Amino acid sequence: MTRLSVNINKIATLRNARGGNNPDVIKVAIDCERFGAQGITVHPRPDERHIRHKDVLQLRDVVTTEFNIEGYPDERYVKMMHDVKPAQATLVPDPPNAITSNAGWDTIKHAAFLRDIVQEIKSLGVRVSIFVDPSPRMVEGAIAVGADRVELYTEPYAVEYLVNKEVAIKPYIESAKIAHAGGIGINAGHDLDLNNLKYLHQNIPLLDEVSIGHALISDALYYGLENTIQLYLKQLKG
């Protein structure tokens, strides 16, 4: 079964735009789980422009499914892993001022750095996923540094899907085969939506988890959060 983890960063962005606590990020996380989500994802950034450190600590105490914390593995992030011990740490190569993730790790170039970080976080009992481009070589690099999973960066897939979905999916199938053969799990995320998710799932049946935020929250403006989560779960069935 492929799990749906809802990224609630955009909920925090909306809250922060006005101040106060509306919408309530913690309540939304609880509701997402109640509506069927099998995980909650956050990506706290140093400037706290959406998810705040305080949110992470509060979410630690209420998330009952899988809590996934994305981020660049600097000293701040690693300390958070020690304090929170989420189900999963997803390591991304974003600089602090990045608007959103736009590339995966070069797991060959940064192998020594990643190996040390992965070892430290895994020692806490936290599963480690490394965000990578759909490249067999980058997946092999993630296997070599001891990652438990890779998260395949799916923006290129989402863009090419609109032109030629068979071409779009090919590098992801190849990368997933390498990951499976290497004994690690497969996640995916970035720009997945109700149009392209089902095809990705059909072609990568061993997909463990998808993390979806922007599109899902945008769809919820029209369909409502509960109905939207059910629509996304429907794409992951069969």
Q: Which residues are catalytic?
A: 43, 70, 190
Tell me the helices (H) and strands (E) count for the chain, helix number first: 11, 8
| Through-space distance between the first and last CA atoms of the chain, rounded to whole angstroms | 9
**Residue 152 and residue 13: Cα distance in Å, rounded?**
25
Q: Please enumerate in sequence order all residues whose Cβ is within 8 A of that of 27, keeping only pairs 6 or more positions apart, or say none.
A: none
Using DSSP, state whether 185 is helix, strand or coil. strand
Q: What are phi and psi of 128, to 5 degrees?
A: -115, 125
Helix (H) or strand (E) run with residue 198 in it = helix 197-203
The amino acid sitting at 157 is Y
Helix (H, G, I), strand (E, B) or coil at 117: helix
Confirm if 153 and 118 have CB atoms less than 8 A apart. Answer: no
Transcribe 46-68 into DSSP letters.
TT-SSS-HHHHHHHHTT--SEEE
